[in-house]
Amino acid sequence: MEAGQLTVARRIAIVSAMGVAGETVPQVAVRGPSWDGRFTVLILFLPPALLLFTLFVVLPIGEAAWYSAFNWNGFGRPTNWIGFDNYRFVLETRAFWLALRNNGLIIAVSLAIQLPLALTLALMLAERFRGAVALRMLFFMPYILAEIATGLIFSFVYDGDYGLVASIWRTFGAEPPHLLASTDTAMLAVLIVIVWKYFGFHMMLFIAALQGLDKSLIEAARIDGATRSQALRHVVIPLLYPTIRLSVFFAIVGSLQLFDLVMPLTRGGPADSSNTMVSFLYNNGISRMRVGYGSAIGVILFVICVTFAFTYKRWFMRDE
């Protein structure tokens, strides 16, 4: 079947190529069928995607804005109009600000630890030596594991009775801590898992960029007498700025969506100390079917995401 398709494709390609070579094709012949064909394509090919997208992506956002003005449990029609009260309730909730702070922490850790780590590893592994490819794959692997599975693996690692951390503590004769059960350490534990899971993805972005770099620029710098570290600082890193900006963009967007990883680890607790925006939305809106309140959180999150995306793209990323 594969071969069949290819031959058909090739035949059409050949026929078409001859058509191009012919050149003296009367315009009328082109206009007639091609407009009809265009119309058929427009009618058949666009609606499925546009319909699905409108129905399940755009309309729900609009409806979130509408529902957020009601006190509604999702059954029947929304009737109890309360205006902007839901937004006031959200902004008065301490857990909301904690979640926002945690999202800020995730971004800070991504910038201060994950990004330098990923960049360093990329610079090491972009060179060719035995084992480089295997290491790249190993470091990338956490990224493709489901966040749920990752969360569960680390809830074992952190477990105060059976976990790896507990075992290390015991060898030093100390009483093992329950990292995920304490408001002081839960978020820190989540942050470590985030670095574990995502640094490989950012590393791959940098490796892809490094392999696309124009090597002659670096060679030119070396010939002109730049040391390796000077060439790195003044040539390679500046050439990587677009990728760095991209990596930062993904770290921030990723932090705003983070949910799956938090659930198996802490469910946002204890005492809301490790909620992200989305797990806060889940715990306070979805799981209790408070449609109005949850929609208000959703709208706030939407505004944050869109504002961020537009300003970031305008300020830092001029392409696309």
Partner 1 sequence: MSSAETTHAPFDPAVLFKTAFLAVVAIFVLVPLLATLLGGFKSLGELRVNPFGWPAHWEWQNYADILFSGRYWQLLRNSLIISTLTVTLTLITASMAAFTFAHVKFYGSSMLLSYLTLGLLFPAATAVLPLFIKVRDLGLLDTYFGVALPQVAFSLAMSVLLLRRFFKDIPHELLEAALVDGCSYIKFFRYVTLPLSRPILATVGTITFVNSWNAYLLPLVMLNTDALYPWPLGIMIYQGEYSSEWHLILAFITLTILPTIILFLLAQKHIVAGLTAGAVKG
Footprint of partner 1 on 23-82 (CB under 8 A) = 25, 29-30, 33-34, 37-38, 40-42, 44-46, 48-50, 52-53, 55-61, 63-64, 67, 74
Q: Which of 70, 114, 163, 252 binds partner 1 (CB under 8 A)?
A: 163
**What single DSSP character describes residue 127?**
S
Q: Which of 80, 183, 230, 257 binds partner 1 (CB under 8 A)?
A: 257
The least CB distance from residue 102 to partner 1, in Å, is: 15
Token pair of 124 as six digits? 């090491």
Q: Write out the binding residues for partner 1, residues 109-128 only, by CB under 8 A.
A: 117, 120-121, 124-125, 127-128
Which of residues 64 and 186 has its CB atom nearest to partner 1 in the complex?
A: 64
Instruction: Fill in the per-residue mask, 188 to 227: x = in contact with partner 1 (CB under 8 A), - = not in contact.
Output: --------x---xx--xx--x------x--xx--------
The least CB distance from residue 249 to partner 1, in Å, is: 8
Q: Which of 102, 154, 274, 284 binds partner 1 (CB under 8 A)?
A: 154
Nearest Cα residue to 297 out of 128, 147, 119, 86: 86
Angle, CA 228 vertex, CA 227 and CA 229 arms, to 5°: 95
Alpha carbon 300 to chain centroid distance?
19
- Does residue 106 bind partner 1 (CB under 8 A)? no
Interacting span for partner 1 (CB under 8 A) from 1-9, 80-88, 92-100, 107-115: 1-9
Reduced 3-state DSSP string for 170-207: HHCCCCCCCHHHCCCCHHHHHHHHHHHHHHHHHHHHHH
The least CB distance from residue 218 to partner 1, in Å, is: 6
Q: Which of 70, 89, 139, 198 binds partner 1 (CB under 8 A)?
A: 139
Nearest Cα residue to 262 out of 176, 317, 197: 197
Q: Write out the binding residues for partner 1, residues 265-304 only, by CB under 8 A.
A: 278, 281-282, 285-286, 291, 294-295, 298-299, 301-302
Q: Are 191 and 106 in contact (CB under 8 A)?
A: yes
Nearest Cα residue to 157 out of 141, 174, 175, 169: 169
Token pair of 253 as six digits? 């967007």
Q: Are 177 and 163 in contact (CB under 8 A)?
A: no
Amino acid letter for position 183: T
